């Protein structure tokens, strides 16, 4: 347990206390909590435009956590931590490329685990960073659930079953929401456990899976080209520019995850070199 000034570590046999989870003075008692609520408007005005500093993010926050992440990643590991998408729409790919360039610059300037939250906190202030952090959490929850459920569908198809055969159908729930997916839950737990145990180990595992993914995609590409027919390109854009842009927005989902690479800043051996290579 740490004291209020984030100094020495006080180890006790009793385990954790409330101060470990609610260290702010506002939570010491009901009186201070009510007073803090009454000052919400004033505090919000003060924090909306307040900005952090590079030194605070690089040293202050890291020292306060009393834990240093092991620098075990290089440029090769960063590449494999990203999305393994071989082909995608040009529009969504270009938009993702511009975002990646921004992340690359910020990652070199502020190589901390906070990612985009830390960048916005330094450049635009706490309020903007708070809004962005909420959106990022929502993004990862939705995308993680979607990828896990799609894994079940692909696995069922691989086993010569229908996509929903391995899901539990609950008739009492509304249609479209009545297929429970325990396999997806297990997949998420296993992946989270692996990533928590070892960053380097999860990077190596991800590298192997990505290589397998690329080999399969190249195989399908080569086999598909042997059956290519230019007649398939007739009526190229039946829904016009509107349909192309809608498809580009959906295809951008394939790039979700590159922003997560920025959170590995503290674990990269040489941030200035490897981030620019990435």
Tens-level pLDDT at each residue, the chain (278 residues): 444 444 444 444 445 455 555 556 666 677 777 777 787 787 777 766 666 665 666 555 556 555 555 555 554 554 443 333 333 467 777 877 888 788 777 777 777 767 778 888 877 888 888 888 888 888 888 888 888 888 898 889 888 888 888 898 888 888 878 888 999 999 889 888 887 787 677 777 877 888 888 898 899 888 888 877 777 667 767 777 777 777 777 777 777 777 666 666 565 666 555 555 55
Res 41: pLDDT: 80
Rounded Cα distance between 22 and 109, Å, is: 31
The token duo for 188 is 């998420």
Position 58 in a domain: yes
Radius of gyration in angstroms for the set of CA atoms belonging to the chain, rounded to a whole number: 23
Phi, psi of 115 (to 5 degrees): 65, -140
Number of H helices, E strands in the chain: 13, 2
| Residue 246 lies inside a defined structural domain of this protein | yes
Residue 24 lies in a domain: no
With both helix axes pointing from N to C terminus, report the angle between 182-197 and 126-158 in degrees, rounded to the nearest 10.
Answer: 120
Is 32 within a domain? no
- Please give the Cα distance from 48 to 40 (Å, whole number): 12
Q: Residue 153's CB: how many other CB atoms inside 10 A?
A: 19
* CA gap 199, 49 in Å, rounded: 35
pTM: 0.53
Count of domains for the chain: 1
Instruction: Judge whether 104 lies within some domain.
Output: yes
The answer to the question of residue 226 being in a domain is yes
Determine the structural domain holding residue 248 and report its residue range. Answer: 39-277
Q: Are 101 and 94 in contact (CB under 8 A)?
A: no
Placement of tokens 């008692």 in the chain: 29
DSSP 56: I
């Amino acid at each position: 347990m740490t004291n209020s000034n984030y100094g020495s570590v006080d180890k006790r046999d009793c385990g954790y206390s409330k101060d470990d989870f609610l260290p702010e003075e506002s939570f010491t008692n009901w009186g201070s909590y009510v007073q803090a609520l009454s000052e919400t408007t004033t505090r919000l005005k003060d924090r909306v435009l307040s900005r952090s500093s590079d030194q605070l993010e690089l040293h202050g926050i890291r020292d306060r956590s009393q834990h240093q992440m092991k620098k075990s990643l290089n440029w090769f590991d960063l590449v494999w931590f990203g999305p393994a998408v071989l082909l995608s729409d040009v529009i969504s790919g270009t938009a993702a490329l511009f975002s990646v360039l921004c992340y690359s610059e910020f990652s070199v300037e502020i190589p901390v685990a906070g990612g985009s939250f830390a960048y916005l906190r330094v450049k635009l202030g706490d309020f903007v960073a708070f809004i962005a952090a909420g959106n990022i959490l929502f993004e990862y929850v939705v995308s993680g659930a979607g990828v896990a459920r799609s894994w079940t569908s692909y696995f069922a198809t691989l086993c010569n079953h229908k996509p929903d055969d391995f899901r539990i159908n609950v008739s009492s729930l509304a249609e479209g929401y009545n297929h429970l997916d325990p396999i997806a839950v297990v997949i998420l737990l296993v992946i989270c456990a692996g990533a928590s145990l070892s960053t380097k180990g999860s990077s190596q595992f991800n590298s192997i899976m990505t290589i397998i993914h690329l080999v399969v995609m190249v195989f399908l590409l080569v086999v598909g080209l042997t059956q290519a027919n230019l007649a398939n390109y007739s009526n190229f854009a039946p829904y016009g520019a509107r349909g192309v842009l809608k498809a580009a927005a959906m295809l951008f989902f394939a790039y979700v995850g590159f922003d997560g690479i920025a959170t590995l800043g503290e674990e990269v051996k040489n941030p200035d070199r490897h981030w620019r290579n990435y």
